[in-house]
Structure 1
């Protein structure tokens, strides 16, 4: 019997008021298609010239695509509607309406999935497309430096993959369920976490798309968010995701994710898993959960004086105030976390607080260089909290 033909690709482009950018997006995608592939644009109720622009492109034959339009309901609703149009045997490439795919990106992502039927998706790097002197220019992004550990654990710390840099089997979307319509922001991150938790991904070397950085509003309708408010909006919706992560992930799942570091079973592995989860939760401003994990880890250490925090565990803590975390934004709620760090034996407390503070000098220099006075003050407040915890007498009772 002849081999089955390779799966075809459906490109989904959700759009909302992107008249200025979507033409470049579509022109970057369409030349990459093979026969049998298709493009589906879902317009989430645009009020600018997007409908007319798409209509003229379709009518002239410039853009051979399907165009669906709905009342403004949010990106999640638009993506779920589009996925309902795609057969389970296809591959899905979701491309944001303001980004630009690099030539050959689709072929680079699809080839590994044609050669190996087991992985659920491929993923890769991107760079920035920024406005300088009236022109759009590309700049490298420094955020794709994920460590040698399970992909899902790295993604729990920060979302360094984006959907224009992913090609996913449609059956994987069916398995993990629809986009969460309660999330008007961070719905992509939520879906990427679900996919990476359930399926193996293959990394494609090199950048795949240009992520446009601009000051336009993000989000749909009443959930639209101005550029300067993005960080707080992401924090609010990420909090919903990570409350669910903490509630739904069995602790054994975190133990499994850190087991490749070489810990034996038992208390050593429990300390490692709790420190890893604490780092994840603190980055997402889930300070109470992070504090409880640090306190639980601290309770395991006094009776085992030979047990030191490992380089990997210190690295977990060093990510708390790293780039793209929410820790500084929610610093008023961070005191329980620092109080829990004071529960560690003195020697390990010093090492842990050094690790937590490791990113602060660079963040202070960056804030001062960019004249962001408020951010600089937050960095100094974080350093002061760390200093007070370093000098504190070890509490007699565990943090509750």
Structure 2
């Protein structure tokens, strides 16, 4: 999309193991971002020292922010506020984009001008540990679309900037499930339209330190997110169903 700038927001907390790989996956995009906003959410490891070197050769507008630790939702909100692109995408520090992710997502937005956001197909990569199968099952249970190929996580989406004005900020009080909460709110809004892209461009990586859904706190948080959505949709005639997201034709 000529003249259409894309900002990438990358929140990080204690990401010293992953920051270089995440930035490399951005640098390998066949359609490069126009801006990168990295929000260091109060890291206590070597992340603050590694960030300047990790981004020094990038040709884009790069912004490095450091905030008091407030959680991933607040970090993403800070990144959105600092960004300037016509569209906004997110990459968590421990995940990756495949090389055509941004190009494919932008092509879908260009071909389907009625879309406000598009969600890429996702691939889950596990570290092979004993918890991996359980983690994959939990993630697919709570976050996967019906086709099983799409995860409702921020890193899989590309959003027109206006979405955040119309839908409101990402819920900063949520430490878990803030991505699912936001996607549910988008689906509930009659004037916000999204779709699923058939191409797989997002890699969700499982490892021993990520915030996954195998903890009691995360289970409770996601359950509350779903209940909030049900309560918002509850009326005198029952609960209003969510409209299904269209699966777009392949590029």
| TM-score interval, smaller chain | 0.7 to 0.9
Post-superposition shift, 1:6? Answer: 4.2
Post-superposition shift, 1:187? Answer: 1.0
1:21 aligns with 2:38: no
Higher RCO, 1 vs 2 (CA within 8 Å, ≥6 residues apart): 2
Instruction: Determine helix, strand or coil for the equivalent of 2:127.
Output: strand
Counterpart of 1:127 in structure 2 is: 123
Instruction: Determine helix, strand or coil for the equivalent of 2:23.
Output: helix
Cα pair distance change 1:91/1:246, threshold 3 Å: same
Q: 1:170 aligns with which of 161, 167, 174?
A: 161
Q: TM-score, normalised by structure 2?
A: 0.80
Note if contact 1:7-1:114 (Cα within 8 Å) is conserved in structure 2.
no
**Structural RMSD (CA):** 3.0
Residues in 1 aligned to 2:39 and 2:19: alpha-carbon distance in whole angstroms: 12
Counterpart of 2:219 in structure 1 is: 235
Counterpart of 2:247 in structure 1 is: none
Note if contact 1:122-1:203 (Cα within 8 Å) is conserved in structure 2.
yes
Cα pair distance change 1:205/1:244, threshold 3 Å: same
> Deviations 1:76-102 (Å, cap 9, x if unpaired)?
111111111234x61111111100110
Residues in 2 aligned to 1:37 and 1:200: alpha-carbon distance in whole angstroms: 24
Answer with 1 or 2: which has the greater Rg. Answer: 1
Counterpart of 1:191 in structure 2 is: 182
Q: 2:230 aligns with which of 236, 246, 249?
A: 246
Gaps of 5+ in 2: 130-135, 245-251
Q: How does 1:358-377 map to 2 (within 5 A)?
A: none
Note if contact 2:39-2:67 (Cα within 8 Å) is conserved in structure 1.
yes
Note if contact 2:9-2:36 (Cα within 8 Å) is conserved in structure 1.
yes
> Deviations 1:64-123 (Å, cap 9, x if unpaired)?
521111111111111111111234x61111111100110111111111112232111111
Cα pair distance change 1:34/1:100, threshold 3 Å: closer
Counterpart of 2:97 in structure 1 is: 101
**Which one has the bigger strand percentage?**
2
Residues in 2 aligned to 1:104 and 1:35: alpha-carbon distance in whole angstroms: 10
Counterpart of 1:328 in structure 2 is: none
Instruction: Determine helix, strand or coil for the equivalent of 2:65.
Output: strand
Cα pair distance change 1:118/1:240, threshold 3 Å: same
> Deviations 1:9-40 (Å, cap 9, x if unpaired)?
10000000010012101100123275771111
Instruction: Determine helix, strand or coil for the equivalent of 1:230.
Output: coil
Q: TM-score, normalised by structure 1?
A: 0.52
Which stretches of structure 1, 4 residues or more, deviate above 6 A after TM superposition? none
Note if contact 1:86-1:170 (Cα within 8 Å) is conserved in structure 2.
no
Q: How does 1:357-396 map to 2 (within 5 A)?
A: none
Note if contact 2:171-2:178 (Cα within 8 Å) is conserved in structure 1.
yes
Instruction: Determine helix, strand or coil for the equivalent of 2:152.
Output: coil
Name the count of aligned residue pairs.
229
Cα pair distance change 1:255/1:128, threshold 3 Å: closer
